[in-house]
Structure 1
Amino acid sequence: MTDTRINVGEMLPAALVEQLRGWARALGFSQIGVADVDLSSAEPGLLAWLNNGFHGTMDYMASHGLKRARPAELVPGTVRVITARMDYLPRGSQHTDWQAIEWAHLGQPANAGISTYARGRDYHKVLRSRLQKLADRLTEAVGPHGYRVFTDSAPVLEVELASRSGIGWRGKHTLTLHREAGSMFFLGEIYVDLPLPLSEPVTPHCGQCTACIDVCPTGAIVAPYRVDARRCISYLTIEHDGPIPEDLRPLIGNRIYGCDDCQLVCPWNKFAQRSTLPDFDPRAPLTHPSLLALWAWTEADFLLHTEGGPIRRIGYERWRRNLAVGLGNALHADPQRADIRGALVSARDHATPLVQEHIDWALRSPTPAPPATTEC
């Protein structure tokens, strides 16, 4: 049998990267880049972010320290990082005004806001398996080599690597932006010991725009390119496992799992690309549901409807906690909603202490806003 493996030393590295791009497209990826492993210039910013406590209760961020910015320490022998972009806007989102549709749904307090990416299959599963197939294809071509696949699953500076490898630029909301794809995509990486040619980074194109900073409901984007996770709705509804701070609950509105506001308002997302995969198609129960419909779920319903999806990872208790906040805000917006009040009251005595606390808050009248002052 003829050995069809490629000797990297005998092949033009650029041709190998071009082959990688072809294999990646066949697997559903939209873009491939190659980054260097010297991220030393990113270390001061990482340390400042950690020292400010902006990681909240995500203690693993601090425990990993600078390993996040040092790929060769995380995986010894790594000399390059293959970066990958996978678009996730659902295939059925054919409307060019999809952002307006999302805003309209969020504008109704009794509706449940769920981040677009979370309505289908868990992206960790999708990307990891397809990155592994891409790595296997590379191994078939060049022979055994050192590598490791990552998808938001280890101390990796994903946006930094994506920016350095031409996937896009870091937006002021800290997400990666692409001129022809916005920010509605996932990132994945393959650490390799192959000396592949580096991709050229792209220039940033945010200009003077501050739309993402201005729209953030909780003011979590404390400065351009700087997010305080402790105020971020995505962190509060997904990563944070305790009581949600009372002063932030009214600002969360009806967002019960994640928040897309900074992406919905971004002008570049009018170019967001539809996914080519069915994995990110929204499940019917999670397609623009009402808060009351989700509140009616038993734990068995929750496990059934979130099987294989990202929402399951927060568990039923946090799910109910988030819904209680959303229902409270809906009730505060319309105190005449007896159906919402009744649903909260009937669930209280059987709820866990964490959920009870949020139900009690939801049933209280909102604190009136202080009167506006005028200067003479």
Structure 2
Amino acid sequence: MSHPLDLVALTENIKQWGRELGFQQVGICDTDLSPEEPRLQAWLKKQYHGEMAWMARHGMMRARPHELLPGTLRVISVRMNYLPAKAAFATTLKNPRLGYVSRYALGRDYHKVLRQRLKRLGDRIREHCIALNYRPFVDSAPLLERPLAVKAGLGWTGKHSLVLNREAGSWFFLGELLIDVPLPVDAPQPEQCGRCVACLTTCPTGAIVEPYVVDARRCISYLTIELEGAIPEALRPLMGNRIYGCDDCQLICPWNRYGQLTDEDDFSPRRVLHAPELIALFAWSEATFLRVTEGSAIRRIGHFRWLRNIAVAMGNAPWDQAILHALQSRQGENALLDEHITWAITQQLARRRALAVDVQPPQQKRLVRAIEKGLPRDA
């Protein structure tokens, strides 16, 4: 194909167009991820992907972007901040009668937001090329997006396996645009975690089994979102009031003191999901669930898995007669839900016998204190 003669100028234009579309950073890299293949193979061999069969289904294609779109020469990697103002981290986590939803999921489904912007970016580039093949991705194909973002200079891999950036911490979404134009590439950033292991020691379930390696089977995000069956009983007490995802490893990270708040209205918290009461959430009918979660990433787990997660959180809450009645009111609706309701009722009755007042584990109390000290102003 024919390319513009001045690829350097085109690259600068692409980065400017990206910023105009709402991306805080745009980086470019080649498609060689061969160093990631042994790490991916070892991770899959240990079954750390759990029930996420799609992680293994396409083999090493995840590390070979050029196989997804033949002819691909470069990957344009972008990031978009999502941390909302008044995120109410500490308020929600320290009140076990409230349900904690990972902050990325409080607003509109980010997949749709980023993909639309990437499509517009690709169209803009095409206007300046004689011919162009491109394809946008946002968690929508077998692609190692984090190593690509690191290679494109958007940040470095933190010990929690997320991408960290000096100016933004890790509160951002990633997206990719595969193109067949040999643009100049960006330089990676140096790793800057040093000796810090805060994310490893803070993870409620010990899912970060070693620096840079997460056993998804223990991760609360996996348990509440990806896992379709029963949550392992031994892990339920460790989940606290986290009903969709978990942010603990990000909340404790010192680099997130520099996290930037989003100015995207789509990522503003939906009022009903912002520090919601567990009893109120557990009363939702399927129709209410579908209506409230329309356009949200939460909808994909379905009503009964949503209730499953809430039942576990209610089992972890202090003794409350109202919680007990709420749990009993939904018995018999679904076998998977019943298993978790029975467990939660047992926990509530045991707590009543012990007259426990504060059931937050010390680890969660320490996290809340760290949040209150270290988050950006207004977060």
Distance 2:226 2:242 in 1: 14
Q: 8 Å contact 1:128–1:149 — kept in the other structure? A: yes
Cα distance in 2, alignment partners of residues 61 and 178 from structure 1: 26
Match of residue 374 from structure 1: none
Aligned twin of 2:341: 359
Partner of 2:3: 8
Is 1:347 aligned with 2:341? Answer: no
| CA deviation string 1:111-136 (max 9, x = no partner) | 10100010100000000001000000
| 1:293 equivalent in alignment to 2:314 | no
Structure 1 counterpart of 2:325, which letter?
G
Unaligned runs of 5+ residues in structure 1 are 1-6, 369-376
Q: For 1:152-196, what per-residue CA distance to the aligned partner results, in whole angstroms no more than 9, with x for missing partners? A: 111110110000110000000000000000000000001111000
Following superposition, the deviation at residue 276 of structure 1 comes to: 2.4
User: Which among 47, 52, 58 is matched to residue 58 of structure 1?
Assistant: 52
Q: Show the counterpart of 1:159.
A: 146
Aligned equivalent of 1:36, options 30, 39, 48 = 30
Deviating more after overlay: 139-148 vs 34-43 = 139-148
RMSD, matched Cα: 1.3
TM-score by length of 2: 0.90
- The aligned residue for residue 49 of structure 1 is 43
Once residues 197 and 188 of structure 2 are traced to their aligned partners in structure 1, the CA distance between those partners, rounded to angstroms, is: 23
Match of 2:235 among 235, 244, 248: 248
Question: By how many angstroms is 1:144 displaced?
Answer: 2.2
Indicate which of 229, 238, 251 corresponds to 2:225: 238
Over the matched positions of the two proteins, sequence identity in percent amounts to 55
Report the AA paired with residue 10 of structure 1. Answer: L
Match of 2:189 among 199, 202, 206: 202
1:325 is aligned to 2:317: no
CA distance in 2, matches of 1:305, 1:9: 47
Aligned to 1:3: none
Match of 1:187 among 154, 164, 174: 174
Matched, 1:79 2:73: yes
Residue 280 of structure 1: how far off its partner (Å): 0.2
Aligned residue identity for 2:216:
A
Letter paired with 1:139: R
The size of the alignment, in residue pairs, is 349
TM-score (norm 1): 0.91
1:347 aligned partner, one-letter code: R
**Deviation string, structure 1 residues 247-275 (Cα, Å, up to 9, x no partner):** 11111111000000001111111111122
CA deviation vs aligned residue, 1:84-119 (integer Å, no higher than 9, x gap):
0010112x34xxxx6xx4134211111101000101
Aligned partners of 2:74, 2:148: CA distance in 1, in Å? 10
Output the CA distance in 1 between the equivalents of 2:253 and 2:37: 28
Q: Runs (4+) of structure 1 moved beyond 4 Å?
A: none
For 1:343 and 1:228, the matched residues in 2 are separated by 33
Q: Output the CA distance in 1 between the equivalents of 2:264 and 2:238.
A: 34
Structure 2 match to 1:88: 82
Contact in 2 for aligned 1:89/1:185 (Cα 8 Å):
yes
* Structure 1 residue 65, shift from structure 2 partner: 1.0
**1:8 shift after superposition:** 3.2
Give the Cα–Cα distance (whole angstroms) in 2 for the partners of residues 184 and 112 of structure 1.
20
Contact map agreement 1:103 1:264 (CA 8 A) in 2? no
Q: Counterpart in 1 of 2:95?
A: 108
- The SS at the match of 2:176 is strand
Deviation at 1:300, TM superposition (A): 1.1
- C-alpha separation between the residues in 2 aligned to 1:121 and 1:361? 33
- Aligned partner letter, 2:337: V
Contact 2:3 2:130 in 1 (8 A): no
* Contact 2:91-2:275 within 8 A present in 1 as well: no
Residue by residue over 1:186-227, the C-alpha shift from the partner in whole angstroms, topping out at 9 and shown as x without a partner, is 000011110000101101110100111111000000000000
